[in-house]
Amino acid sequence: MAESDGGDPLAEALTEVLGGARARGGLFHQVVLAPPWGVRVQDGNPLSVAATLHGEGWVTHAQDPEPVHMKPGDVVVLRGPEPYVLADDPATEPGLVIHPGDCCTTPEGVDMCEELVLGVRTWGHSLAGPTVLLSGNYQLHADLSARLLDALPPVLVLRGGEWDSGLLPLVAAEVVKDAPGQQLVLDRLLDLLLISVLRAWFARPEARAPAWYRAQSDPVVGIALRMLHEQPAHAWTVAALAAKAGVSRAGLARRFTELVGEPPMTYLARRRIDLAARLLREPGSTLDAVARRVGYADGFALSAAFKRLRGVSPSEHRAGREHRAVAERSGGAEDRAVAEHGAGLVVPGAAPA
């Protein structure tokens, strides 16, 4: 296979990693709010997207305490599983708390789901509220590649004029529909919304692009990365990659680690497991067949590598248990205390109109 097809390696890398976004049962909500309002979201989801349709708001992430002001057309991508707060003002104390699951409670643990229902996927105290937010959430880590999650800051914000925010009215119109196959439509719209935002963000000169993305343009490491992307199931060695790149084994290993942040074989292992995670969710896929497609001798070898890198077995991954396992590993005493209050859903609160 040719080392390059002449395309833009940065564009190819971005296409490949964004192609890993594949929502399954993602949550979408429209929330109508009237000040003062505030909600603490601690659902453990790996990634959330929040957009302002009308009015204004603020978002504060646990890993980035600087509040972000949201205006109409703005969109914010929030990396989990750490909690964040949405509010009309940074000083407003949250009146609602979102827990793992599909409901919401007061800070004291009182269930508020039924009280806040205003219609199909629409929440709040009154439809007359001046602020309308759109919230989309990926529930499973397997629906996003590890490299994509690693590439994102805790809070990523794009203003309405920095991306094609004309997509928001389409998403908002579909969110409130109750039609056959609507979940599939919403899943694809969540993917489209995320990809549109991230594509615009990566194109910004000030964007903090991840090391693996910048390394694509390196004349040595870029060749090795393309080999690993194009043929992940090949029995690669550092020596074989070095020969393709025209450098010594030691030279490639050192340069690759410096630019990408990890050795070539570690990078390859993570890429293979990312691919396996997607393939395992395809109907009719078997462990042995997936193992051969991603470069492992058999299902036993894949299972061991999957457990080591993902923390769950392939069967647990198929059953959707990976989300809970990652949230538990990431959570501290605060998250355990929250879990004692029960389950809940992304439903920002609002004062009665």
DSSP annotation string for 50-113: EEEEES-EEEEETTEEEEEEE-TT-EEEEESSS-EEEESSTTPPPSEEE-SSS-EE-TT--B-H
Coil/strand/helix, residue 30:
strand
Task: Give, in order, the Cα–Cα distances in Å from 283 to each of 189, 280, 318.
Answer: 22, 8, 11
| pLDDT above 80 (res 136) | yes
Q: Which of 68, 35, 83 has its CA nearest to residue 338?
A: 83
What's the pLDDT band for 336 if we cut at 50, 70, 90? Answer: very low
Coil/strand/helix, residue 313:
coil
Question: Cα(126)–Cα(167) distance, rounded to whole angstroms?
Answer: 25
More confident residue, 325 or 140: 140
120 residue type, one letter: V
Question: Tell me, what's the pLDDT at 333?
Answer: 35
Coil/strand/helix, residue 47:
strand
Question: Cα(297)–Cα(235) distance, rounded to whole angstroms?
Answer: 10
More confident residue, 252 or 349: 252
Question: Cα(192)–Cα(51) distance, rounded to whole angstroms?
Answer: 14
Residues 6+ apart with CB under 8 A from 212: 13, 147, 151, 225, 260, 261, 267
Task: Give, in order, the Cα–Cα distances in Å from 213 to each of 7, 42, 125, 331.
Answer: 15, 30, 44, 29
Cα 282 vs. chain centroid, distance in angstroms?
Answer: 20
Question: Tell me, what's the pLDDT at 208?
Answer: 65
- Could you tell me if 335 and 341 are in contact, meaning their C-beta atoms sit under 8 angstroms apart? no
The mean pLDDT of the chain is: 81
pLDDT in tens, 156-178: 898 988 887 788 899 999 999 99
DSSP summary character for residue 125? S
What's the pLDDT band for 248 if we cut at 50, 70, 90? Answer: very high
DSSP summary character for residue 5? -
Task: Give, in order, the Cα–Cα distances in Å from 306 to each of 19, 261, 294, 323, 329.
Answer: 21, 21, 12, 15, 16
Mean pLDDT of 258-277: 90
Mean pLDDT of 246-260: 94
| pLDDT above 80 (res 185) | yes
Mean pLDDT of 16-34: 79
Among 203-212, 273-282, 325-334, the range with the most confident prediction by mean pLDDT is 273-282
